[in-house]
Structure 1
Amino acid sequence: MRPRSFHPTIIYLLFWCLLWSCRQHQTETVAEKSTSSATGYKVIAIKDGDTIELLKDGKPVRVRLLGVDAPEKNQDYGTIARQFTSDLCFGKMVNLVVDGNDRYGRTVGTIILPDGRTLNNELVRNGYAWHYKAYSRDKTLAQLEIEARQNHRGLWEKRNPVAPWEFRKSRRTSNNSDKTVAQNIPRPSDAARKVYICASEGATTYHLSKTCSVLKRCKAGIETVTRGTAVMNRQRTACKICAKPA
Structure 2
Amino acid sequence: MLVACSASATATLIPSTATPFPSTDTPSPTTPTRLKAFSSAEVTRVVDGDTIDAMVEGSVQRVRLIGISAPEAVPGRPVGCYGPEASAKARELLDGRTIDLQRDPTQDDKDIFGRLLRHVWMDGANVALTLIEEGYAEEHTYSDPYMGWEDFNEAEGRAKAEGLGLWSACSDEVPGISIPFDPLGSDRDCEDFDVWREAQDFYEAAGGPGEDRHRLDSDRDGIACEGLK
Give the SS at the match of 2:46: strand
Q: Check 1:70–1:104 CA distance in 2 against 1; reply closer, same or farther (3 A cut).
A: same
Residue 105 (structure 1) aligns with: 114
Instruction: Check the 8 A contact 1:51/1:64 in 2, yes or no.
Output: yes
* Aligned counterparts, 1:109-128, within 5 A: 109-113=118-122, 115-128=123-136
Instruction: Check the 8 A contact 2:167/2:174 in 1, yes or no.
Output: no
Q: Check 1:120–1:102 CA distance in 2 against 1; reply closer, same or farther (3 A cut).
A: same
2:117 partner letter? V
Q: Give 1:40 deviation, angstroms.
A: 1.6
Q: State the Cα deviation string for residues 156-205 of structure 1 (Å, max 9, x = none).
A: 11432331696899985245xxxxxxxxxxxxxxxxxxxxxxxxxxxxxx
Q: State the Cα deviation string for residues 29-73 of structure 1 (Å, max 9, x = none).
A: xxxxxxxxxx82110001110000110232111100101111111
Q: Give 1:136 deviation, angstroms.
A: 5.5
Moved more, 151-160 or 82-91: 151-160
Q: Give 1:143 deviation, angstroms.
A: 0.2
* Pick aligned residue for 2:173 from 139, 145, 161: 161
Residue 92 (structure 1) aligns with: 97
2:113 partner letter? Y
Distance 1:104 1:168 in 2: 26
Instruction: Give the strand-richer structure, 1 or 2.
Output: 1
Distance 2:68 2:113 in 1: 16
Residue 29 (structure 2) aligns with: none
Distance 2:80 2:179 in 1: 8
Residue 243 (structure 1) aligns with: none
Distance 2:180 2:94 in 1: 26
Whether 2:47 is the aligned partner of 1:47: answer yes
Residue 192 (structure 2) aligns with: 173
Higher relative contact order (CA 8 A, sep 6+): 2
Q: Give 1:134 deviation, angstroms.
A: 3.7
How many corresponding residue pairs? 137
**Percentage of identical aligned residues:** 27
Give the SS at the match of 1:109: strand
RMSD: 2.8
TM normalised by structure 2 equals 0.54
Q: Check 1:64–1:130 CA distance in 2 against 1; reply closer, same or farther (3 A cut).
A: same
Q: Check 1:167–1:81 CA distance in 2 against 1; reply closer, same or farther (3 A cut).
A: farther
Distance 1:94 1:168 in 2: 38
Instruction: Check the 8 A contact 1:71/1:164 in 2, yes or no.
Output: no
Q: Check 1:96–1:156 CA distance in 2 against 1; reply closer, same or farther (3 A cut).
A: same
Max radius of gyration: which structure? 1
Distance 1:117 1:58 in 2: 24
Q: Check 1:101–1:94 CA distance in 2 against 1; reply closer, same or farther (3 A cut).
A: same
Whether 2:158 is the aligned partner of 1:147: answer yes
Instruction: Check the 8 A contact 2:166/2:174 in 1, yes or no.
Output: no
Q: Give 1:133 deviation, angstroms.
A: 3.3
Instruction: Give the helix-richer structure, 1 or 2.
Output: 1
* Aligned counterparts, 1:216-231, within 5 A: none
TM normalised by structure 1 equals 0.50
Instruction: Check the 8 A contact 1:121/1:144 in 2, yes or no.
Output: yes
